[in-house]
Structure 1
Amino acid sequence: MRARFFQADDALRWDDFCARCHGATFLHSYRFLSYHGDRFADRSIIIEDGEDWLGVIPAARHPFDEDVVVSHPGVTYGGMLHDGRLRGVQMIAALDAAAGLWRSAGFKQLRYKCVPHIYQAAPAQDDLYALFRVGAVRYRCDLSSCIDLRHRLPVSGRRLRAQKKASRAGILVTRGNERLPEFWAVLEENLLRKHSAKPVHTLDEIEMLAERFPDRIRLMAATLNGNVEAGIVLFLSETVAHAQYIASSEPGYEVNALDAVFEESIEQSRMAGKRFFDFGISTEDDGRVLNEGLNQFKNEFGAGGVVYEFYQWDLRGNDNGAE
């Protein structure tokens, strides 16, 4: 077993390998990661046995700290991706091989974004055990709200009343990316007004990604009198429909337009055979602050908690406080 860095001519094989991995989604494909262009210095790793690929780790240098490598700064979750052959001691050996290569490239710390279990086609958390064994420590834990579409929890009376209000107001829910520009205007205004922030993706970027992945990126929009007043951009993996972006205008809030969008999105995800509907996290400051109102709103649709875990590993040795 040995580790080597990803090269540009590995791209097609990388995507083919990720398509077979238990914990990979389209976010880990080179077709997705490459949209960043030159924004990140890629340090992705391939684990090999001779010419045979055993695993891959999408990774890049931290954009603000050249001593840190992250798996991957451009996606929500990353980690060691494999097709079932990196179990137990093999996973420990694979992570150790990757650490040695990053260390030789001058990195002092790895920040590791674990793939939440709901995104895994089969149980694939050997990496969590391996991180414990090598002395990595959890430095961040986010709380997301998630519906198990086979065993949905009860929907609150408040959400049921809100859905009826949206229906009486004449809210219509449409599916299709052709209205992304209208929704993006709502999203940008919403983030600026509430958080003085901008979306992670620009409109050009999300339209490019939607064109690359027409079956994986989908806008669900709520219209009132023909105008887009609320919506959700869904990122669709094999097992999960994830609400990547959520926004409503003030007129949309007045008639509970988001309730109509969520309910339609949840039902369509169930009918499409997804196992989970993931609303996304309700935490801030690396998980130390919980937006209780937002968390409650999401849970009232029949959701429960799923965590997104982040670990850091001192690549110089076991001096990070773990025992």
Structure 2
Amino acid sequence: MQTYTIKRYHKDDYALWNSFIDNSKNGTFLFHRDFMEYHSDRFQDFSLLIYDEKKLIAVFPSNVKDEKVYSHQGLTYGGLVLGNSIGGEKIRNILLDLVYFLRSQKISNLYIKSIPIFYHQKPSNEYTFFLSDTGAELYHKDLNLAIDYSIPASIHKSKLKHYEKRKDIGFQIEEVDNLTNFWNEVLTPRLSKKHNTKPVHTLEEIQLLKKKFPESIIQFVISLDNKILAGITIFKTRDVVKSQYGAITDQGEKHRALDFLFISLIHRYREEGYKFFDMGTVTDNNFGLLKQKEELGCEIYMQDFYRLDL
């Protein structure tokens, strides 16, 4: 016997869904339908709305593939997005009902990647705690590096020394609306050369997303003598700024331009009153990248991944 009503997302739910995300206690603009659907050709949506009678109390952004449901694979984090006033007992019952619903839909497995704690407007760890009641197992962890602005800055003294030395060499830091130069001249060549990969977002996709979320997606570049040396793409939520992409040219490396830009933005967003600066995850024991982010003042947080066999 289900306690709550669960239904698949339909385009008619667009306004209701987005309003709920805006007023939830752990949602961000990544769960807005305009963000989720920019790559709808690559993911079969299986997003769910959970109702207590007629009141929407939670949503689950997700996709389905081969009878498996995932916290949306096109997003950095996911899981249950919860209403502001919901309590622990309700969350436990939502999870139990979610399992019942997925089984009725012939789903074989559920995969959840958690929302890092610093994105929560209010602490929202209840659902990961109660996942154990459904039989879910923690099968993977990622290291998430972020700066907590509530504690004193801890940027490594060598990085600060180089930063101070370069303040007067003529760097120009700009916020730009057009991402073409950074994408084509810096980011894409850098990822190809260093990692034999491409940006997750194509230029066309990121331009579209920036058009839809102009206050949330910000592009910074740093130049010297009108030549772009590096850039950082910022995803900005209510309390957190995230460096979604950061890349540098060979010439920029000689001038330590990316560190200079990072430190400038770290100072800027501290002064603007943000709570965290998220520098993303470190995987595959990449200790060089880990050290680089720690020297910029990051501490280690965990992002947990859960699997439930249905």
Q: Which TM-score band (shorter chain)?
A: over 0.9
Hey, what does 1:222 align to over in structure 2?
222
Hey, what does 2:249 align to over in structure 1?
249
Hey, what does 1:49 align to over in structure 2?
52
Query: Cα deviation per residue 1:301-320 (whole Å; 9 max; x = unaligned)?
Result: 222111111111112xxxxx
Shift of 1:168: 4.6
Shift of 1:165: 4.5
Counterpart-to-counterpart distance in 2, 1:95 and 1:249: 47
Query: Cα deviation per residue 1:273-305 (whole Å; 9 max; x = unaligned)?
Result: 21000111111xxxxx22111111111122211
Letter of the 1:183 partner, please give it: F
Identity of aligned residues (%): 32
Shift of 1:266: 1.1
Letter of the 2:292 partner, please give it: F
Unaligned runs of 5+ in 2: none
The farther-off stretch of 261-270 and 49-58 is: 261-270
Q: Is the 8 A contact 1:171 1:260 kept in 2?
A: no
Change (3 A) 1:165 1:193: farther
Q: Is the 8 A contact 2:26 2:120 kept in 1?
A: yes
Hey, what does 2:305 align to over in structure 1?
310
Q: Does 1:19 align with 2:18?
A: no
Letter of the 1:184 partner, please give it: W
Hey, what does 1:291 align to over in structure 2?
286
Which aligned pairs between 1:17-96 and structure 2 lie closer than 5 A? Answer: 17-62=20-65, 66-96=66-96
Counterpart-to-counterpart distance in 2, 1:158 and 1:256: 12
Partner-residue secondary structure (3-state), 1:73: coil
Counterpart-to-counterpart distance in 1, 2:199 and 2:49: 31
Partner-residue secondary structure (3-state), 1:124: coil
Shift of 1:3: 1.0
Q: Is the 8 A contact 1:166 1:259 kept in 2?
A: no
Letter of the 2:54 partner, please give it: E
Letter of the 1:96 partner, please give it: L
| C-alpha RMSD over aligned residues | 1.4
Q: Does 1:139 align with 2:139?
A: yes
Letter of the 1:123 partner, please give it: P
Letter of the 1:230 partner, please give it: A
Hey, what does 2:260 align to over in structure 1?
260
Query: Cα deviation per residue 1:146-195 (whole Å; 9 max; x = unaligned)?
Result: 111121342212211231344354322112222x1111021111111111
Counterpart-to-counterpart distance in 2, 1:160 and 1:194: 26
Counterpart-to-counterpart distance in 2, 1:43 and 1:165: 52
Hey, what does 1:318 align to over in structure 2?
none
Q: Is the 8 A contact 2:99 2:134 kept in 1?
A: no
Counterpart-to-counterpart distance in 1, 2:82 and 2:238: 16
What is the TM-score when the length of structure 2 is the normalising length? 0.95
Hey, what does 1:233 align to over in structure 2?
233
Partner-residue secondary structure (3-state), 1:188: helix
Hey, what does 2:108 align to over in structure 1?
108
Change (3 A) 1:98 1:110: same
Counting matched residue pairs gives 306
Change (3 A) 1:308 1:166: farther
Which aligned pairs between 1:148-297 and structure 2 lie closer than 5 A? Answer: 148-178=148-178, 180-185=179-184, 186-283=186-283, 289-297=284-292
Counterpart-to-counterpart distance in 1, 2:215 and 2:49: 27
